[in-house]
Amino acid sequence: MNGTYFLSLLVFSPLVGILLLAFVPKTQERTIKWLGFLSTLPSLILSLFAFVQYLRGYRLEHLAEKHDWVRFADFPFLTEPTFAIRYELSIDGFSLVMIVLTSLLATLAAVASIHIKKEWKGYFMLFLLLEIGMLGVFAAGNMILFFIFLEITLVPMFFLVGKWGGFERERAAYSYLLYNGIGSAILLIAIIVLFARTGTSNIELVKEMLHNPAVEAQLVAPISNDLRLGLFIALLIAFGIKLPIVPFHRWILRVHVQAPPSIVMLHSGVLLKIGAYGLIRFGIGLFPDQFRDFAFWIAILGVVNLLYGAFLAFVQDDFKMVLAYSSVSHMGIVLIGLGALNEAGIQGAIFQAVSHGFISALLFLLVSILYERTSTTAIDRLGGLAKVMPLTAGCLLAGAMASLGLPGMSGFVSEFTAFLGLFKTEPVVAAIGALGIIMTAVYLLRAVLNMTFGASKRDDVQALDMSLAEAIPVFVLLALIVMIGVYPHILAKPLQATIEMMMNGLGV
Amino acid sequence: MSMHTLLQYKWGMMTPEFIVLGTALILSLMDLFMPDDKDRRPLAWIAFVGVAIALIATIGLIPAKAVSILNDTFRLDAFGKAFKLLLLAGGALSLLLAFDYRPKEGLKDRGEFYYLLLCALLGAMIMASSGDLITLFVGLELLSISSYILAGIRKTSMQANESAMKYVINGGISTAITLFGMSYIFGLTGTTNIKEIALEVQKLTDSGYQYILAIAFLMMLVGLSFKISSVPFHMWTPDVYQGAPTPVTAFLSVVSKTAGFVIVLRLFITIFAQAPAQGKDPSSLLFSMQDYIAFLAGATMIIGNTIALKQRSMKRLFAYSSIAHAGYILVGFAAMSWVMIDSIWFYLLAYLFMNLGAFAILQRISDEADSDDLSHFAGLYQRNPLLAVAMGIFLLSLAGIPGTAGFIGKLNIFLGALMTEPGHYVLAAVMIAATVISYVYYFGIFVQIFFRPADETSSVRLSIGLTIVVVICALGTLLFGIVPGLAYHFLEQFDHFSDFLQ
Q: Which of A19, A184, A192, A251 to mutate to test the interface with B (most CBs of B within 10 A)?
A: A192
Which tens digit of pLDDT belongs to each residue from B175-209?
A: 999 999 999 989 988 888 888 888 888 887 777 78
Nearest CA in chain A to B338: A73
Q: Does B339 touch chain A (CB under 8 A)?
A: yes
Query: Are residues A33 and A124 in contact, defined by beta-carbon separation less than 8 angstroms?
Result: yes
Q: Per the domain annotation, does A1 fall within a domain?
A: no
How far is A24 from B383, CA to CA, in rounded Å? 18
What SS3 class is residue A68?
strand
Report the 10 Å Cβ neighbour count for A199: 22
**Does the ipTM surpass 0.95?**
no
Nearest CA to B91 out of B121, B61, B114, B126 is that of: B121
Most confident of A387-391, A470-474, B110-114: A470-474
CB nearest B432 (choices: A70, A174, A188)? A188
Q: Does A144 touch chain B (CB under 8 A)?
A: yes
Mean pLDDT of A273-281: 91
Query: Taking all residues of chain B, what is their mean pLDDT, rounded to a whole number?
Result: 87
The region of weakest confidence among A31-40, A77-86, B328-337, B424-433 is: A77-86
Query: Are residues B259 and B127 in contact, defined by beta-carbon separation less than 8 angstroms?
Result: yes
Report the 10 Å Cβ neighbour count for B255: 29
Q: Does A75 touch chain B (CB under 8 A)?
A: yes
- Whether residue B419 and residue A181 make contact (CB cut-off 8 A), yes or no, is no
How far is A189 from A173, CA to CA, in rounded Å? 24
- The yes-or-no verdict on residue B280 having pLDDT over 90 is no
CA distance A185 to chain B (A): 6
- The yes-or-no verdict on residue B63 having pLDDT over 70 is yes
Quote the Cα angle for A253-A254-A256, to 5°: 65
- Whether residue B485 and residue A170 make contact (CB cut-off 8 A), yes or no, is no
Q: Does B439 touch chain A (CB under 8 A)?
A: yes
Structural domain including A141 reads: 6-506
Which tens digit of pLDDT belongs to each residue from B419-440?
A: 877 778 899 999 999 999 999 9
CB nearest B408 (choices: A70, A182, A188)? A70
Residues of chain A contacting B485 with CB distance shorter than 8 Å: 68-71
Residue A75's pLDDT is what?
63
- Whether residue B415 and residue A195 make contact (CB cut-off 8 A), yes or no, is yes
What SS3 class is residue B22?
helix
- Whether residue A155 and residue B421 make contact (CB cut-off 8 A), yes or no, is no
- Whether residue B451 and residue A170 make contact (CB cut-off 8 A), yes or no, is yes
Q: Which of B386, B439, B480 to mutate to test the interface with A (most CBs of A within 10 A)?
A: B439
Residue A462's pLDDT is what?
58
- Whether residue B403 and residue A177 make contact (CB cut-off 8 A), yes or no, is no
- The yes-or-no verdict on residue A443 having pLDDT over 80 is yes
Nearest CA in chain A to B452: A163
Nearest CA to A162 out of A75, A274, A254 is that of: A254
Residues of chain B contacting A170 with CB distance shorter than 8 Å: 447, 451
- Of residues A309 and B156, the one with the higher pLDDT is A309
Mean pLDDT of B44-65: 88
Residues of chain B contacting A157 with CB distance shorter than 8 Å: none
Residue A2's pLDDT is what?
53
Which tens digit of pLDDT belongs to each residue from B293-352?
A: 899 999 999 999 999 998 889 999 999 999 999 999 999 999 888 788 889 999 999 999
CB nearest B423 (choices: A83, A177, A196)? A196
Task: Output phi, psi for B435, to 5 deg.
Answer: -65, -40
- The yes-or-no verdict on residue A215 having pLDDT over 80 is no
Which tens digit of pLDDT belongs to each residue from B101-134?
A: 877 777 777 778 888 999 999 999 999 888 889 9
Q: Does A72 touch chain B (CB under 8 A)?
A: yes
- The yes-or-no verdict on residue A174 having pLDDT over 70 is yes
Q: Does A486 touch chain B (CB under 8 A)?
A: no
Residues 6 or more apart in contact with residue B149 via CB below 8 angstroms: B112, B116, B164
Residue B316's pLDDT is what?
92
Residue B317's pLDDT is what?
93
> Domain limits of chain B?
11-497
Residue A82's pLDDT is what?
67
- Whether residue B440 and residue A83 make contact (CB cut-off 8 A), yes or no, is no
- Whether residue B436 and residue A75 make contact (CB cut-off 8 A), yes or no, is no
How far is A233 from A190, CA to CA, in rounded Å? 9
Nearest CA to B469 out of B364, B369, B314 is that of: B364
User: At how many degrees (to 10) do helices B464-482 and B405-419 cross?
Assistant: 40
What SS3 class is residue B282?
coil
The region of weakest confidence among A268-282, A488-502, B57-71 is: B57-71
Residue A285's pLDDT is what?
86
Which tens digit of pLDDT belongs to each residue from A302-349?
A: 999 999 999 999 999 889 999 999 999 999 999 999 998 888 999 999
Domain tally, chain A: 1
Q: Does B491 touch chain A (CB under 8 A)?
A: no
Q: Does A219 touch chain B (CB under 8 A)?
A: no
3-state secondary structure A212-277: CHHHHHHCCCCCCHHHHHHHHHHHHHHHHHHCCCHHHCHHHHHHHHHCCHHHHHHHHHHHHHHHHH
Query: Are residues A315 and A302 in contact, defined by beta-carbon separation less than 8 angstroms?
Result: no
- Whether residue A72 and residue B401 make contact (CB cut-off 8 A), yes or no, is no
Q: Does B432 touch chain A (CB under 8 A)?
A: yes
Segment 289-318 of chain B within 8 Å of chain A by CB: none
- Find how far residue A81's CA is from the centre of its chain: 35
Interface size, chain A vs chain B, as Cβ–Cβ contacts under 8 Å: 97
- Whether residue A189 and residue B428 make contact (CB cut-off 8 A), yes or no, is yes
Residue A65's pLDDT is what?
86
Mean pLDDT of B377-396: 90
Q: Does A185 touch chain B (CB under 8 A)?
A: yes
- Of residues B110 and A422, the one with the higher pLDDT is A422
Using 50, 70 and 90 to split pLDDT, how confident is the model at A359?
A: very high
Residue A458's pLDDT is what?
62
- The yes-or-no verdict on residue B259 having pLDDT over 60 is yes
Q: Per the domain annotation, does A311 fall within a domain?
A: yes
Q: Does B442 touch chain A (CB under 8 A)?
A: no
Using 50, 70 and 90 to split pLDDT, how confident is the model at A508?
A: low
Residues 6 or more apart in contact with residue A427 via CB below 8 angstroms: none
Query: Are residues B494 and B61 in contact, defined by beta-carbon separation less than 8 angstroms?
Result: no
Q: Per the domain annotation, does A229 fall within a domain?
A: yes
One-letter amino acid identity for A287? F
Which tens digit of pLDDT belongs to each residue from B70-86?
A: 777 888 888 888 899 99
Residues of chain B contacting A118 with CB distance shorter than 8 Å: none
Residue B492's pLDDT is what?
78
Q: Does A70 touch chain B (CB under 8 A)?
A: yes
What SS3 class is residue A142?
strand
HSE-up (13 A, CA, CB side) for residue B385: 7
CB nearest B496 (choices: A75, A148, A178)? A75
Q: Does B485 touch chain A (CB under 8 A)?
A: yes
- Of residues B462 and A89, the one with the higher pLDDT is A89
Q: Does A15 touch chain B (CB under 8 A)?
A: no
Residue B266's pLDDT is what?
87
Report the 10 Å Cβ neighbour count for A26: 11
- The yes-or-no verdict on residue A499 having pLDDT over 70 is yes
pTM (whole model) above 0.80: yes
Query: Taking all residues of chain A, what is their mean pLDDT, rounded to a whole number?
Result: 87
Residues of chain A contacting B479 with CB distance shorter than 8 Å: none
Query: Are residues A336 and A329 in contact, defined by beta-carbon separation less than 8 angstroms?
Result: no
Nearest CA to A232 out of A175, A187, A176, A173 is that of: A187
Using 50, 70 and 90 to split pLDDT, how confident is the model at B395?
A: very high
- Whether residue B407 and residue A148 make contact (CB cut-off 8 A), yes or no, is yes
- Whether residue B415 and residue A220 make contact (CB cut-off 8 A), yes or no, is no
Segment 2-31 of chain B within 8 Å of chain A by CB: none
Using 50, 70 and 90 to split pLDDT, how confident is the model at A77?
A: low
- Whether residue B488 and residue A71 make contact (CB cut-off 8 A), yes or no, is yes
Q: Does B486 touch chain A (CB under 8 A)?
A: no
Residues of chain A contacting B459 with CB distance shorter than 8 Å: none
Residue B302's pLDDT is what?
94
CA distance A137 to chain B (A): 13
Q: Does A162 touch chain B (CB under 8 A)?
A: yes
The region of weakest confidence among A328-342, A443-457, B17-31, B139-153 is: A443-457
- The yes-or-no verdict on residue A79 having pLDDT over 60 is no
Nearest CA in chain A to B414: A192
Residue B464's pLDDT is what?
87
